[in-house]
Amino acid sequence: MRVAGSSAVITGASAGVGRATAARLARAGASVGLVGRDAKALEETRSEIASLGGVAYVAPADVADPDGLFAAAEFLAEKQGPPDLWINNAMLTVFSPVSEITPAEFRRVTEVTYLGAVHGTMAALRQMRPRGTGAIIQVGSALAYRGIPLQAAYCGAKHALRGFTDSLRCELIHEGSRITLTMVQLPAVNTPQFDWARTHRSHQPRPVAPVVQPEAVAEAIMAAVERPSRERWLGLSTAKVVLGSMVAPAWLDRYLARNAFEAQDRPERVTADRPDNLEAPVHALHRARGAFGREAAPRVASWSGSEVRATLAGVALAGLAAAVGLASRRRRASR
């Protein structure tokens, strides 16, 4: 779709990938509706966009509350017109083994990370269906294919979002709708979530390397908007995780059991007064980038899932042809 002159809405817009993507859309000429829990942080994001010459509107809402989110969508439609683009980006996580996380914590992560995207999709479809057109982007993760230890609630939510998205895509195709639906699977990103996510670990959490900057993800999301596809995988690490979970899931279980616990720990210990954003925003940390800038890559490769599968199929066929040719030559030589 054409971004310039379009109307866009993004949830989780006050920090991390959401904030970087909102700024990128505004620079491309879109009017951007900013949705999140923290009204003050959204206003800061709107001011940042205005300083870039862009236009943005603020609609505070918790995506876990469908009525509040639907009302925010109606407000933004009045301000900037019905959305041509809707990006579901809001998320929460808790770093904890399943044995230590509480049912209430698990429910809260699910309500925001999974049901929040479902509610956002419903709000988008209310506005898009009468026109029969629009684009919905689900911000996913490599962890939508491969669960890792210490983030069972988040991984389960991203798996669920992938299933929901596949189901809805079939329905839209059945309807003959021109509404496009793309899931963008992210690698580890340098965002503030690791400074404000709840943790039951003794050490501060961190992303599993390699890490990319949120602006790199924003560029890839822009590409997904401009050239819609079923799914996009960002970064070689995502491709490895997705394909590894398909080819050797049991081996990956053991590898992650050995390596993924300490890989999510920083040397610094968690202090008793450390705030977290599970139930309410942490006002001081709203920005695009987190604490891992020194190791975060400024760019990330992006492929559609079909491109990766086609490449692998070509490699497999070439390997099969080579093996058949070698066997044929050996048979002739033995005669």
pLDDT recorded at residue 321? 53
Angle between helices 66-80 and 116-128 (to 10 degrees): 40
* 213-227 confidence digits (pLDDT tens): 999 999 999 999 999
Structure tokens at 235: 């970064």
Residue 316 pLDDT class (50, 70, 90 cuts): very low
CB 210, CB 229: distance < 8 Å = no
| Choice among 57, 114, 145, 154 that is catalytic | 154
* 55-107 confidence digits (pLDDT tens): 999 999 999 999 999 999 999 999 999 999 999 999 999 999 999 999 999 99
Question: Cα separation of 72 and 268, whole Å?
Answer: 39
Ordered by where they begin, the domains of the chain are: 7-300 (3.40.50.720)
CB 70, CB 123: distance < 8 Å = yes
* 97 preceded by a cis bond (ω within 30 of 0): no
Please count the other Cβ atoms lying within 10 Å of the Cβ belonging to residue 36.
27
Question: Cα separation of 35 and 113, whole Å?
Answer: 14
Residues 176-187, mean pLDDT to the nearest whole number = 98
Residue type at position 317: L
Question: Cα separation of 30 and 23, whole Å?
Answer: 10
Residue 171 CB contacts under 8 Å (≥ 6 apart), including other chains:
none
331 pLDDT exceeds 90? no
Reply yes or no on whether 57 is catalytic: no
Which of 66-80, 235-249, 321-335 is predicted with the least confidence, judged by mean pLDDT?
321-335
**Residue owning tokens 């992303």:** 207
44 pLDDT exceeds 70? yes
234 pLDDT exceeds 90? yes
**Phi and psi (nearest 5°) for 158?**
-70, -35
- What does 51-64 look like in DSSP terms, one character per residue? HTT-EEEEEE--TT
45 pLDDT exceeds 90? yes
